[in-house]
Chain A
Amino acid sequence: DAGVTQSPTHLIKTRGQQVTLRCSPKSGHDTVSWYQQALGQGPQFIFQYYEEEERQRGNFPDRFSGHQFPNYSSELNVNALLLGDSALYLCASSLARQHSNQPQHFGDGTRLSIL
């Protein structure tokens, strides 16, 4: 049973560049969430995708955008990179159920370094 997979594992970019991170959800899951984890901090919610639409967003600027594909996989795009965007980016998947909050399962993340 494949868990959440993310690619790439590491990435180095320079300020002002753009980056795309990818995520495949756990088998059977249809919902994908993205989190940013700075060093020594807990993950911060960026947004969640369900049925190919963003259905909730955290306190992140529009430079952060995403996409979900019909096979439930997802991409996170970040434009105009800043030094402060250096972090571990985590993808989490879950199964949408009406009237019930389902647990989120995380991948191992993409470590993004901005020079």
Chain B
Amino acid sequence: QKEVEQDPGPLSVPEGAIVSLNCTYSNSAFQYFMWYRQYSRKGPELLMYTYSSGNKEDGRFTAQVDKSSKYISLFIRDSQPSDSATYLCAMTGAGSYQLTFGKGTKLSVIP
């Protein structure tokens, strides 16, 4: 079993839809959770960084962490064609400097 599981998609939605992206993990030592967006031929761009369980909102993006279920989510409201990219979840534990990533979910937002 991989430490971090993420459905690779692809996921295709119409413009304006709400998008839900998810990751599950098995390592209970993970305490810091991130979502990155990666456009084709570019490096990952940090979108959200969370520590505790619960929700964190930033504009159209909401990150949700449920440590009891070892499940994290990223919601994108009012999705735009410019949101078309691969979304990577990443996580790490206290005292560790290594990020463990999911495989990424490829999202297409259709105008």
Contacts and interface: CB of A to CB of B under 8 A. Distances in A.
Contacts, number: 61
Contact of B49 (A4, A41, A103): A103
B71 interface: no
Given A42-B104, A55-B97, A58-B98, A101 B42 contact: no
A104 B102 CA distance: 16
Interface stretch (A14-22, A65-73, A79-87, A105-113): A105-113
B103 A45 contact: no
Interface string B77-111: 00000000000101010101111111110000000
Most buried by B among A42, A90, A92, A109: A42
Interface residues of A, number: 25
Interface residues of B, number: 27
Interface in A24-61: 31, 33, 35, 40-45, 48, 50, 55-56, 58
B99 A45 contact: yes
B30 to A, nearest CB: 11
A56 B6 CA distance: 25
